Amino acid sequence: MRRTEYPRPQFVRRDWLCLNGTWDFAFDDDNHAAAEHWELDTHPLGGTIEVPFCFESRLSGIQDTSLHDRVFYKRHFTIPDEWRGQRILLHFEAVDYQCSVYVNGALCATHTGGNTGFCADITDVLNEAPGQSLAVSVYDPARDETIPRGKQFWEEKSAGIWYTRTTGIWQSVWIEPVHTYHIDHVKFTPDIDHDTVTLAAEFSGYTEEMYLEADISFRGEPICQDRYFVNNHSVFHRSIHLSKNHILYSTAHEQERLWSPENPALFDITLRLVVKGIVVDTVESYFGMRKIHTRDGITYLNNRPYYFKLILDQGYWKDGILTAPSDDDFVTDIRIMKEMGFNGCRKHQKVEDSRFLYHADKMGFLVWGEMASACLFTDKGITAYAKEWFEVLRRDYNHPSIVAWVPFNESWSIPNVDSCKRQQDQTLGMYHLLKSLDATRLVVNNDGWEMTKSDICAIHNYAHGSGREPEKQAFFKRSMQEKDILLSCTHAGRSIYAQDHAYGGEPILITECGGINFNAACQENWGYTSALDESDFLQQYAHVITSILQSDLIYGFCYTQLSDVEQETNGLLTYDRIPKCDPAKIREINSRYRHNIVIR
């Protein structure tokens, strides 16, 4: 199985070459690669791997889950003749954790961070002949708890909520040709209140007589065709009024052009960079007109009250671990989640593949974006974490499906945040940093408990009990109805807000709940409660969800979780994505009660 789809669907050029597939591969347990120059053709590696799957996965062709901190990759590729005379860019969508990239034996890029990608201009190290060599050295210290690792376990065998590691290349590798002057980056900022979108663009350089053309259309109807001259700063911002060519839009027509899960409306845009009358770069993209905000304890989507019905999605697959076996698997997951009556997901402890976000944009599915956390609080970890967040925002800013960022979860990497002023400052700093870089989304800070500053009061509560524990079930239902209990520390024995911080009227959501273990076929299974059979499972699920839906205090939930992951068998689907019960039954429960949004 190979991943051959275009990896960057929000920034599309016509010409590109996929480098996924069979690569030479070796473990470098004794750290000999640098001294022995494994990057040279004179050093064979002896094994092979299927990229972009990590060696721990079945789809890699290796499936070795033992600890190997250092690995090495090599392959050859050919530059198409028609690309000659252009700059060649090499892209890695994600490599975990530190890597060095060599082309024809020359070091051309280094990168640290396993959640985001990077790009290198390799033109100047290419051979005159078509054939080129590519080598990648990777260091991913399995037992280092200071790096952002998410759910990847640092022990040999996964256990509890910790899963098999992902080492090395785990997303697509590819190359593309560009002109010396090309578009480096674009950013779309929608403003539905003024029917405008702000276009910001960055370029590889500046020369005289250089301008950008933008053609915007909506469902085939031309909206805007304009030309913008580029100044010598190689970057500009321009607000574009999307209805300037139209005399009147009714309220219904305006709503039709706004993006939501119920109406995933997207504007298509073609950008052309022109130098001295010649088009030197063409990029196809899209954006959505969408607004998310809160006011008086209520969440609003496009200025209308909106209730979140989310599901926790950890983005693990049985055969690919963190890498989806195919692009269709993203579509399947979103389709099933929508069929079950969820309008979004919380991507948990993982920066997901751009292809998932693309399909969420197209199909209409909300996403709360999250970064993998470290386990410990260190100076090094703070720096590494912020750096990767910068890269996440740059890559994913344009996706309308993403409506919230979650920088911290359950005090991971900030274990003493309840009382430690320095760790509190870390959460406050990340909150304000994310808001300064992205004012279009909510920031849900330290999801679960011990919050400082957050746009959502995000509470985790698994204390719902089973059908065999009526007293626990009754207390759970009561706790959803009474604010004093809801905001107390009864849920996990942790304070909802850190010391010297308090609830300030933010919308209250139960952002983790359920976790009901139901999988008789799995021998080593684990969950927060257990169900005896499908009927018992549905009774427990209905108790959790309806208790939340009936509350006038709560404006959304996130159920744990979409699928089983290894030994954690509390998914609505098995690990290989087989529904444990009819999705229509889950949908009926999710829709059983109309939530009462009280405008205060």
Q: Which residue has the tokens 């604010």?
A: 483
pLDDT of 92: 98
Instruction: With beta carbons less than 8 A apart as the criterion, state whether 552 and 596 touch.
Output: yes
Give the angle 161-166-170 at the CA atoms, nearest 5°. Answer: 135
Q: Tell me, what's the pLDDT at 278? A: 97
Q: Which two structure tokens, joined as six digits, stand for 316?
A: 């693990």
Report the distance separating Cα 162 and Cα 572, nearest Å.
19
- Residue 521: what pLDDT? 64
Q: Cα separation of 222 and 572, whole Å?
A: 43
The structure tokens listed for 337 are 């989640």
Calculate helix-pair angle for 327-339, 583-590, nearest 10 degrees. Answer: 50
Tens place of pLDDT for every residue, the chain, 600 residues? 689 999 999 999 999 999 999 999 999 999 999 999 999 999 999 999 999 999 999 999 999 999 999 999 999 999 999 999 999 999 999 999 999 999 999 999 999 999 999 999 999 999 998 899 999 999 999 999 999 999 999 998 999 999 999 999 999 999 999 999 999 999 999 999 999 999 999 999 999 899 999 999 999 999 999 999 887 766 777 788 886 443 333 344 467 999 999 999 999 999 999 999 999 999 999 999 999 999 999 999 999 999 999 999 999 999 999 999 999 999 999 999 999 999 999 999 999 999 999 999 999 999 999 999 999 999 988 999 999 999 999 999 999 999 999 999 999 999 999 999 999 999 999 999 999 999 999 999 999 999 999 999 999 999 998 888 999 999 999 999 999 999 997 667 899 999 999 999 999 999 999 999 987 666 567 788 889 899 999 999 999 999 999 999 999 999 999 999 999 999 999 999 999 999 999 999 999 876 555 444
Residue 120 CA to residue 172 CA, distance in Å, equals 14
Please state, in angstroms and rounded to a whole number, the distance separating the CA atoms of residues 348 and 367: 10
Question: Helix, strand or coil for residue 313?
Answer: strand
- Coil, strand, or helix at residue 288? coil
Tokens 């004093």, residue?
484
What is the Cα–Cα distance from 558 to 403, expressed in whole angstroms? 14
Q: Is 502 exposed, middle or buried (0-12, 13-18, 19+ CB in 10 A)?
A: exposed
The fold adopted by the segment(s) 183-287 is: Immunoglobulin-like (2.60.40)
Sign of the Cα pseudo-torsion (168, 170, 176, 179, in order): negative
Pairing of the two strands 508-514 and 457-461: parallel
Q: State how beta strands 402-406 and 442-443 pair.
A: parallel
pLDDT value of residue 172:
98
Note whether 521 and 563 are within 8 A (CB). no
Residue 52 preceded by cis peptide, ω within 30? yes
Tokens of 247: 């005399």
What confidence score (pLDDT) does residue 523 get? Answer: 59
- List all residues 6 or more positions away from 357 whose beta carbon is below 8 Å from its beta carbon: 367, 396, 399, 401, 402
Domains 17-177 and 308-590 alike in fold? no
CA nearest 116: which of 350, 314, 286?
Answer: 350
Give the separation between CA 550 and CA 487, rounded to whole angstroms. 17
Cis peptide before 97 (omega within 30 of 0): yes
One DSSP character per residue, 552-577 reads SSEEEEEEE-SB-BTTB---SB-TT-
Domain 17-177 homologous superfamily, CATH = Galactose-binding domain-like (2.60.120.260)
Q: What is the pLDDT of residue 520?
A: 60
- At residue 388, the 3 state secondary structure works out as helix
Beta strands in 394-528, from DSSP E residues, in sequence order: 402-406, 442-443, 457-461, 508-514, 516-517
Per the CB < 8 A criterion, the answer to whether 457 and 508 are in contact is yes
Residue ranges of domains in the chain: 17-177, 183-287, 308-590
Token digits for 478? 């009561």
3-state secondary structure of 400: coil
Asked whether the beta carbons of 593 and 551 are under 8 A apart, the reply is no
Question: CA 164 to CA 66: how far, in whole Å?
Answer: 9
State phi, psi for 261 to the nearest 5 degrees.
-60, -30
Asked if 199 and 187 count as a contact pair (C-beta separation under 8 A), the reply is: yes
Burial bucket for residue 311 (CB in 10 Å: 0-12, 13-18, 19+): buried
Q: Using alpha carbons only, what angle is made at residue 381 by residues 375 and 383, rounded to the nearest 5 degrees? A: 150
pTM: 0.96
What is 308-590's CATH topology? TIM Barrel (3.20.20)
Helices (H), 340-378: 354-363
Retrieve residue 331's tokens.
């579509």
Q: What is the pLDDT of residue 525?
A: 77
Residue type, 540: Q
Q: What does the radius of gyration of the chain's CA atoms come to, in whole angstroms?
A: 25
8-state DSSP, 546: H
- Distance between CA atoms of residues 400 and 260, nearest Å: 8
CA distances from 468 to 57, 491, 533, 535, 540 (A): 39, 19, 13, 13, 10
Cβ atoms of 402 and 310 closer than 8 Å: no
Is the CA virtual torsion 569, 571, 573, 575 positive or negative?
A: negative
